[in-house]
Amino acid sequence: MNLKDKVAVVTGGTRGLGLRITEAFVAEGAQVVAAARGADGAVESLAHLGDRAVFEQADVRDPASVRSLLSVAADRFGGVDIVVANAGLSRPGPVSALSFEDWSDVVDTNVNGLFHCVKEAVPHLEKSGGGRIITLSSALGSRPTRGASSYCSTKAAVEMFTRVVALELAPLGITVNCLSPGFIDEGMGTLLKKNEAVWSQYAPKVSLGRMGQGQEVADAAVYLASAAASYVNGHVLEVNGGLAW
């Protein structure tokens, strides 16, 4: 069990890729605090994991809320070893029609929310004697796509932020790495797959000829969180089946 006795906090951890990561961490022996902005269905989504995963409501846009989340996790389980900043948002649409409110909401969640999670995690991870931070980008963070200006821009920011923070936190024994999923049959990816007209344009770009599974991304998260990745830092790990753009 690669994460035995570790304590992890996963934002956006009650559904989609976040839930798959929560499940994988539990399977590897970790205690997980899965956070989400909304409480609807959150407890039920974690019920099959027993007492190894607990729900805590938190809004990554609010630094006080994130600070409370980390403190609750540390108080309940005696510390925090791993933080997965997974909470994210997309507001599609051409820039000519995209409202400033939608743009700001994506930036506030995907960039400011990440900042709050990492900043508030540092003192807890330093206490653990060498923690792990995993951020979540996307294939679109490095591949421009029409109608996705807010999402592409913020995910590109996630990758650069990851690299900078990895340099800063290395002396504390904290590694910071990024997962960059491609087309995954989970969450937003499931909706894309159902739109045959759109998916037919993207499917030929995937070398393996299929969408990825949430478990395949979760397995990569387990690796980055484990001792096996102790010398991996500031890396963007693409999990995309060989995506050719």
Number of Cβ within a 10 Å radius of residue 55: 21
CA separation for the pair 215, 4 (Å, rounded): 19
Q: Which H or E run includes 136?
A: strand 132-136
CA separation for the pair 73, 13 (Å, rounded): 14
Query: Could you say which DSSP state residue 3 is in?
Result: T
Q: Which H or E run includes 215?
A: helix 214-225
Do the bridges between strand 82-85 and strand 132-136 make them parallel or antiparallel, or are there none, so unpaired? parallel
CA separation for the pair 154, 157 (Å, rounded): 5
Q: Evaluate whether 31 touches 9 at the Cβ level (below 8 Å).
A: no
Torsion angle in degrees (nearest 10) through CA of 150, 153, 111, 184: 80
Of the candidates 223, 108, 236, the one whose C-alpha atom is nearest the C-alpha of residue 166 is: 236
CA separation for the pair 31, 45 (Å, rounded): 16
Torsion angle in degrees (nearest 10) through CA of 207, 203, 103, 88: -60
Specify whether 151 is catalytic: yes
C-alpha to C-alpha distances, 167 to 16, 26, 161, 173, 219, nearest whole angstrom: 30, 29, 10, 11, 25
Mind telling me the catalytic residues? 151
